[in-house]
Each structure stands twice: as C-alpha cells, then as structure tokens.
Amino acid sequence: VSREAAKRAAARKSCEWVADGMALGLGTGSTAFHVVERVAELVRDGMRLTAVATSRATAEQARGCGIELRELDEVESLDLCIDGADEVDPAGHLIKGGGGALTREKMVALAARELIIVADAGKRVERLGLAFRLPLEILSFGVAHTLRRLERFGEPTLRLQSSGAPYVTDNGGCICDLRLPDGVAAADVAALDRTLRLVPGVVECGLFPDMARRVILGHDDGSVSVTEVS
C-alpha cells in the first residue's frame, strides 16, 4: 500500500508541470497509471489537453477516462512526456521496458520537449543493471539468432508469458531481458545503448541515456523529491 502511495504521490506531483493547451506523452506502467488518472482530472476541471499514449494499455485507460488521444504521427512534437522507469541512476539515466513498452516509450519521449520520470524511491540505484535485467525489444523473426548474438553482452533470456509462449509487444515483437553481470556505469550508458541498437534483430534498447529532464521520486510516507537533471 505504501509503495502505491509513493507512486501516486510522484505521479500527482509531475502533473504540476502540465499546463492548458499542452500535448502530452503518457507513459506505461503502474506509476504512469496514476499520471493518466490525474491528467483526466485536469481535463474534467476544464484544461484543454491532448495526448499520445506509449502503449495500447495506456491508450485504453486514457480513452476510458475522457482524455483526447492522438497518434504519434498526428503531432509534430509534444510539450511534455511523463513516464515511469524501472531504474534511475544518479546521472538520471534510466532502464525502462519492464512493462514491454520501451520502443514506443522512447519514440514518444524523444518527440517531447521534456521528459519527466515518476517512480517510487526504490527505483533509484547507484548503478544501472545490477538488480534489473535490461529489456530489449527484438524482432520475432530469428529470435534464437538474436539472443545468441546478445550473449557477448551478458545473459539474454526471452521474456515469456505465464502460458510459456513468448511475450508479444504492442508492435508484434519479443522482449529479451539481458542480465548485465556488472551492470553499466553512468559514463557507459549511452555507448552501450548505441551498441545494442546496432545488433541485427534488436529493435530498441531499454537504456534511456540523457533523456530525463526531471526525476520525481515518491516516498512511502507520501512525500516526493524532485531532481532536475542538468
């Protein structure tokens, strides 16, 4: 319950940066869920907002609570994207993709002038990738070959559904969860992201280097801390 309060507090705080007339990017996951709820309240209170969702699940939630949605290609840019993360390091670099939506999340975040990350304080780590496996979206074509190619970076595993079948993303791809035995130092995040994206079969990498402008962490007592990333 307290973790939920932390997520909710961070999510609600982030919406203080939402202003009338904005086009928003809406993230995916249990923390972003609270962002969508708060944005819907703002719309009900009369704010004119439009949004691009980073997943089908978020689109469904947003539509259900009256937020006007656009496709990414219907907008030239977004004013602000608010999303969750699986890990945040001291430099503000992120691991995302625990929910499998990393490709759309990265595209929507890049289309936005500003990315705000909302998370419970447990997501803050000293070094990315030690506790959480790095998600990569990979093509379903030739999965075994792509996984083998990824072995030189760590221990790749194919994400499965509870039925045992491969997990399928909104884009029809698969997810490889890559265990990085030594994690990744802040100084190496951008290079590792580039290198992994060059592996044939890899669609996108869950490393988000230098993308967050502001990180809002919620604590169990409902307080929040806001860090501006320089």
Q: Where do contacts with ligand A5P occur on this chain (CB under 6 A)?
A: 27-31, 83-86, 96-102, 105
Q: How far is the CB of 180 from ligand A5P (least distance, A)?
A: 17
The residue type found at 71 is: E
- Residue closer to ligand A5P by CB (options 101, 189) is 101
Which residue carries 């760590």 as its tokens? 154
Mapping DSSP onto H, E and C, the string for 181-205 reads: CCCECHHHHHHHHHHHHCCCCEEEE
Q: Reply yes or no on whether 105 is catalytic.
A: yes
The catalytically annotated residue of 105, 114, 151, 228 is: 105
Q: How far is the CB of 48 from ligand A5P (least distance, A)?
A: 26
Q: How far is the CB of 41 from ligand A5P (least distance, A)?
A: 19
Distances (CA, A) of 80 to 69, 87, 125, 221: 14, 20, 25, 27
Q: Which residue's Cβ has the minimum distance to ligand A5P? A: 29
Mapping DSSP onto H, E and C, the string for 2-51 reads: HHHHHHHHHHHHHHHHCCCCCEEEECCCHHHHHHHHHHHHHHHCCCCCEE
Q: Which residues participate in catalysis according to the annotation? A: 105
